Chains A and B, each alone.
Chain A
Amino acid sequence: MVAEYVPVLILMGLVFAFTVAAVLVTFVFGPKKPTPEKLAPYECGIQEIEAPQQRFPVKYLVTGMLFIIFDVEAASLIPLSILMRQLKMTGFVELIVFAVVLTVPFVYVWRKGAFTWE
């Protein structure tokens, strides 16, 4: 019983070893040419154009949230499409119900202006 899980244990060991090795190898052999920009926290090595001291709109927040919701819901259609032949008419009705439930909120957020950028 327990012996069946030995491969999992070996895999866990390999994953751990690989992670540590990858970090160590780049740390030891990688060239280091530090500049002030590279050493600054939360920067990617490029000199900043403007200090982000003031507020700025996060317009993609609503779009992003809505995308995740609709994306996940659309993904639920995949199992339905696999079983569509077997489910016959029932499956079709379920598909329509699902589409209506998905479309009404879509129309709602659209008309409420969630997709207008400006």
Chain B
Amino acid sequence: MIVADSAFTYTPGAADWVRILPELILLGAALIVLLADLATPAGRKGWLALIGLLGVAGSAIAAALLFANGDGQSAFFGMIAADKAALFADFVILLSVGLGLLFSPGYVERQGITQLGEYYALMLLAALGMMFMASATNLMIIFVGLEVLSLALYILSAYIMSRSRSREAGMKYFILSSFASGFLLYGMALTYGATGQTNLQAVRVFMAGNAFHSGTGFGPLLIAGLALMAVGFCFKVSAVPFQAWTPDVYVGAPTSVTAFMSVGTKVAAFLALARVFDVALLSVHATWMPVLWAVAVLTMIGGNIMAVTQRDVKRMLAYSSIANAGYMLIAVVTGTQDALAALLIYLAAYAAMNLGAFGVALAVERSDGTGATLDDFAGLARHRPALSAAMSIFLLSLAGVPPLVGFWGKFYVFQAAIIGGHLELAIIGVLTSVIGMFYYLRVVWAMYFQEPRAVGIPAVSTLSVEPPAPAAAPASASGGGAAVLVAEPAVVAAPAPQEAYQPPVLAPGAWLGLAFAVALTVVLGILPSGFVDLAIQAAHTILR
């Protein structure tokens, strides 16, 4: 006992708690949501989303105050960073969970999702895990954060229990992701074995003080640890050889969850990846660089090429998220301070545009979870000009068209790669972005220049000619049965539809969310200097 006391004298104080205030507020909101769920009657669960949003807003305010006034020190004996990089990542995660919550109320009603108290609480807890993982400066906390976010997301992926695709998504994600967590944990254990430290700063000090030889001493152990950790992280960011789970999970999970997790998981995993590889183990950059280089190239090429053949827009967006992980990996491979700033810029840009694109897909989707194919987007601009315009902005931004925020993400990543000596990665990135242009613009083309599919026209005329039966429940599947009988004579030429086309109906919250995402995509695209400066400041703190 005496030995332990003299070696370890850290006593956590009030300052430690203040440094994790954003996380604490989010945890409090999740607990209040659980209690409020017991008190609210079945039809009023929208209030829970509001409580969650208030928690997210409170957490964002706390993060902003810490960003401006915090001392940037780590909390709890170097376990959790409260540096500007962590707080910047917190912002992006809070943005994604906030938009996910805004999209949810109308969507969960349409999809017939019950048990909403747990749904909203799990959304908040997943965000909490992401924030801890993004702020972790200790291998143990990285793993704990990862498990908190993963467990919540396994359940959320399988949340539409009556639908086999959703159950499949949850099961697939659970089994594959637990396996990847095992790899990551084994890698962490070996790294700890090699360096004797789990604290990332201490690992860095150890690496600076001990000569690294790949063949002798702690070298082989560290290389094995690096390889296993790289596998674990690459799985979590869905980089190509480890991408197979992504499309199935993203398509099967409720779209509001997909929108949130496609961004939030990437933010958390990339921050942890950058802290481990670009901060703690930067001195062995030459050892791990070729591996992540190859993964980045494979991810950019593979993700973009596989996205080209997709007709389901949600699936296309899933492959697009794989391709985007490739661009972000460029920044990790480069590993300079510019590159880390570029990574943060890319993550923030990606959050706004990708959540927006999934938000539109969620609005177009039918109540049985299908109906987000290119055919469903055909001629959408005629029924829903605002929705189509928003989707066009998000897709153009994802494609990297200049006045939008996605352009700046790509611009800074490629610039950092060229300055950091990875011209070839920048060239591959630009070339694969051109492939990306094709499948993003194909959706825009379908919305504006294609005729609405045959079923679309009778459904609209059905509503105007004979309102009673279908119009009684315009957003539900039950109205579809009656409408298809009326609509059938007009669709002889078309392939027999299972259900009449319903023009997408959006809840007010979803409109608000989409408007917010559009505003961010456009305003940050036109005036990028403010948030780019913040990202550069944040990247300064990560390398200390």
Contact = CB atoms under 8 A, between A and B. Distances in A.
A100 B11 contact: no
B27 A108 contact: no
B472 interface: no
Contacts of A32: none
Interface in A86-111: 86-87, 90, 93-94, 100-101, 104-105, 107-108, 111
Contacts of B35: 104, 107-108
Given A107-B38, A108-B117, A87 B11 contact: yes
Of B13, B27, B34, the most chain A CB neighbours within 10 A belong to: B34
A111 B36 CA distance: 12
Interface in B519-540: none
A86 B11 contact: yes
A104 B11 contact: no
A112 B34 CA distance: 11
B505 interface: no
A71 to B, nearest CB: 17
A111 B38 contact: yes
B34 A90 contact: no
Contacts of B12: 87, 90, 94
Interface in B459-495: none
Contacts of B27: 101
Contacts of B117: 108
A100 B12 CA distance: 19
Interface string A26-70: 000000000000000000000000000000000000000000000
Contact of B34 (A87, A93, A105): A105
B430 interface: no
Say which size band chain B's interface belongs to: 10 to 19
A40 to B, nearest CB: 33
Contact of A108 (B5, B11, B38): B38
B37 interface: yes
Nearest to A104: B31
Contacts of A104: 31, 34-35
A87 B12 CA distance: 8
Contacts of B38: 107-108, 111-112
Contacts of B13: 90
Contacts of A101: 27, 31
Contacts of A93: 17
Interface in B11-39: 11-13, 17, 27, 31, 34-35, 37-38
A101 B32 CA distance: 11
Interface centre among A87, A94, A101, A104 (most CB of B within 10 A): A104
A108 B48 CA distance: 14
Contacts of A94: 12
Contacts of A111: 38
A101 B27 CA distance: 9
Nearest to B39: A111
A94 B117 CA distance: 26
Nearest to B38: A111
A81 to B, nearest CB: 15
A67 to B, nearest CB: 18
Contacts of A108: 34-35, 37-38, 117
Contacts of A90: 11-13
A93 B11 CA distance: 13
B220 to A, nearest CB: 16
The 6 tightest CB contacts between A and B, nearest first, are A104-B31, A108-B34, A111-B38, A90-B12, A104-B34, A104-B35
13 contacts: A86-B5, A86-B11, A87-B11, A90-B12, A90-B13, A94-B12, A104-B31, A104-B34, A104-B35, A107-B35, A107-B38, A108-B37, A108-B117
Interface of A: 86-87, 90, 93-94, 100-101, 104-105, 107-108, 111-112
